[in-house]
Amino acid sequence: MIHLVFMGVSGSGKSAIGRPVAERLRLEFAEGDDFHPAANVEKMSAGWPLNDEDRWPWLRLLAEWTRRHHDANTSTAITCSALKRSYRDVLREGGDGTCFVHLTGDKGVVLERMGRREHFMAPTMLESQLDTLQPLGDDEHGFAVDVADPVDVIVDEVIARVTGS
């Protein structure tokens, strides 16, 4: 059983990569943003970054969703910025086999992608996410993938790394 967490700053492609990976691997998929309470969405829509107090309940909901599927012997994929190790520690509580796919990329590429989509996260908030981001530690289960390539190439790379093929 595996639980993939597609992590990275807003605009890095978590949904664009995570959804097709989940479909091809037949994983139960959840969009992490859908778990945000209205107050978090309103705060980000107004251009204010979330603080830890805003994030803890949201992260616990994501871990609980994963745990329910883990207990039902169902593998999952979820999108979540998971910017800090402490956030990833909460997400790991969802189940053994949690693996982080850190989508990384050039700031200019990410800003361009943010500008082409409709989302409550304003491009002006990217800097605060980059300041908060703690890359995966050597002892954390997961890997980083550069998002400069086309989506289908990245999806193939992630699947190859996850399945070992």
Give the list of residues 6+ apart from residue 68 with CB closer than 8 angstroms, or none: none
Task: Give the structural domain span for 105.
Answer: 3-163
Q: pLDDT, tens digit, for every residue of 67-97?
A: 999 999 999 999 998 989 999 999 999 999 8
The total number of structural domains that make up the chain: 1
Task: Provide the phi-psi class of 95: left if phi over 0, else alpha when psi is between -120 and 50, else beta.
Answer: left
Query: Could you give the CA distance from residue 2 to residue 36 in angstroms, rounded to a whole number?
Result: 23
Whether the predicted pLDDT of 107 surpasses 50: yes
Instruction: Give the CATH number for residue 53.
Output: 3.40.50.300
Secondary structure of residue 102 in the 3-state scheme: strand
